[in-house]
Amino acid sequence: MGQRMERSGPDPATAYARGMSIGATWAGTHTFAAARLIEATSIDELQEAVATTDGPVRALGTRHSFNDLADSPGTLITVTSIPADPALDVGNRTVTVGAGARYGDLAVWLEAQGWALHNMGSLPHISIGGAIATGTHGSGVTNGCLSDAVAAVEYVDAGGQLRSVRRGDEGFEGLVVGLGAYGITVRVTLDVQPTFLVRQDVYRDLPWNTLLEDLPGVMGAGYSVSAFTMWAEDTVQQVWRKSRIGMGDTPQPSWLGARFERPDESGLVDVPPANLTVKGGAAGPWLERLPHFRLDSTPSNGDEIQTEYFVALSDGAEALRAVRSLADDISPHLLVTELRTVAADGLWLSGAHGRDTLAIHFTWRNSPAAVAALTPRIEAALAPFGARPHWGKVHSMTADAVAEVTPRLADAQEQFEALDPDGRFANDHLRRLGLRTPR
Ligand SMILES: Cc1cc2nc3c(=O)[nH]c(=O)nc-3n(C[C@H](O)[C@H](O)[C@H](O)COP(=O)(O)OP(=O)(O)OC[C@H]3O[C@@H](n4cnc5c(N)ncnc54)[C@H](O)[C@@H]3O)c2cc1C
């Protein structure tokens, strides 16, 4: 194939690469300490850069993580300017694409060919390489995280050599959610399926007790369901049901005591409705309904900090009760919480490894001190449920706590060390969490 894939909108990574300071994460929550940022424009150039640069190197995606995960004491390298060159393999139902491409741009290209991804994160602006490296997910009780659709990865190793690994290869499950810890991904092969239509309906004021009494039922009442809450009220503010047309889950006007909202007027706290994908029950292509934010708009609030924890869906109601006991302390610092589900997978560092999962997300006001004070309390409340952190978001978990809830962490770390024995792709964040060894 190889038709050109258009990229729309600004690309911050490119702007910084043109001689400006490296700057910060998208939300400004971490200022990069790396001395240099290289913007590779081809795989050859990337290989050359890794082979000839002295000291530590690390991949930087579209910088939508909220912590210092992507930083390096040496050089950052971005692959966002390497042409995406998507190639569809209809027989195997896969697409192979540059890792620096944004999900939203790939989605537009796939839709034009009549194909679809199984799911999208809330924003389509993230790079594919960065999203899969952290186990980014959307929602849906039968939908794995975005990394779960990865069939193969091509990457540049610590010596600048091009390597590939595919589903079925030994250790593959330890490399997809790889946190940039062993190389720089250049091309990714993703499972695809024929395009489909989705409608998005909003329900307001679902009673909290109704949610807690049948969490899997509520969260499973559509192809992708998200619930938004501030924790303190008696009802859950909004439930967004994204229903796949033709799968028999068309929403009913009256549902579980919640108010069916029509016409489409829902904003999200501090996010104008115009920045959100179309709701109000109008059917549209998957790529214009599964993400919350429109590709051509500013996603989310921007002046924010995000935190997210993963628990087993079967423990979800109890876990929510535990967090709710902190509601009065949480809500003054919160923009909104979103609850989503992720189907179990076998990826060693996925938040949904081995268990169908409830994802409990917090978009905080931009008050780092308040967030730093609250995350340990939320983690303590969720500890009995073996909560795992989202790698790309802010949390306070120690290496010991992370090891306890990540059964394959030692295997992943061993594989990273074997592939990168000199620690070129290691950084303080990975060492702090026990994902790379101290040296
Ligand atoms: C507004 C907003 C909404 C979000 N919504 C969601 C959501 O719905 N679901 C969810 O799960 N998360 C969500 N996130 C988090 C986001 O998806 C992750 O932080 C993701 O990693 C961002 O991708 P990125 O390209 O910006 O990666 P970066 O932040 O640039 O990097 C993250 C990690 O990926 C590595 N990496 C990047 N590119 C490569 C590469 N080519 N090869 C190897 N490693 C690489 C980096 O080294 C680093 O370790 C959201 C974030 C924001 C800001």
Domains parsed from the chain with CATH numbers = 87-195 (3.30.465.10), 197-398 (3.30.70.2520)
Mean pLDDT, to the nearest integer, of 189-194? 98
Least confident of 44-53, 124-133, 294-303, 414-423: 294-303
* 436 within ligand 1 shell (Cβ under 6 A): no
How confident is the model over 146-172, as pLDDT tens digits? Answer: 999 999 999 999 999 999 999 999 999
Which of 7, 30, 60 for a ligand 1 pocket mutation test, highest count of atoms within 8 Å of Cβ? 60
The predicted-structure confidence for 290-314, as pLDDT tens digits, reads as follows 999 888 877 766 789 999 999 999 9
Please state, for a pLDDT cut of 70, what percent of the chain lies above it: 92
Do 61 and 80 touch, CB atoms closer than 8 A? Answer: yes
Both tokens of residue 65?
């993580």
Give the pLDDT confidence of 221-269 residue by residue, as tens digits: 999 999 999 999 999 999 999 999 987 666 676 788 888 886 555 566 5
> Does the structure show a pLDDT above 80 at 51?
yes
Residues 190, 297: Cα–Cα separation, whole Å: 25
If you measure from the C-alpha of residue 63 to the centroid of ligand 1, how many angstroms do you get, rounded to a whole number? 6
Site to substitute for ligand 1 among 65, 76, 275, most atoms within 8 A of C-beta: 65
Cα 316 versus chain centre, distance: 20
How many whole angstroms from its chain centre is CA 37?
23
| Predicted pLDDT of residue 254 | 75
- CB–CB of 141/352 below 8 Å? no
Q: Which of 58, 38, 70 is nearest to 134 (CA)?
A: 70
3 state DSSP class of 24: strand
Ligand 1, atom 53: nearest CA belongs to which residue?
64
Q: What is the pLDDT of residue 11?
A: 42
Ligand 1 binding pocket includes 145 (Cβ within 6 Å): no
Ligand 1 and 63: CB distance under 6 A: yes
66 alpha carbon to ligand 1 midpoint, in Å?
9
The pTM (predicted TM-score) of the whole model is: 0.95
Q: What are phi and psi of 385, to 5 degrees?
A: -105, 10
256 sits in the region (left: phi over 0; alpha: psi -120 to 50; else beta) called left
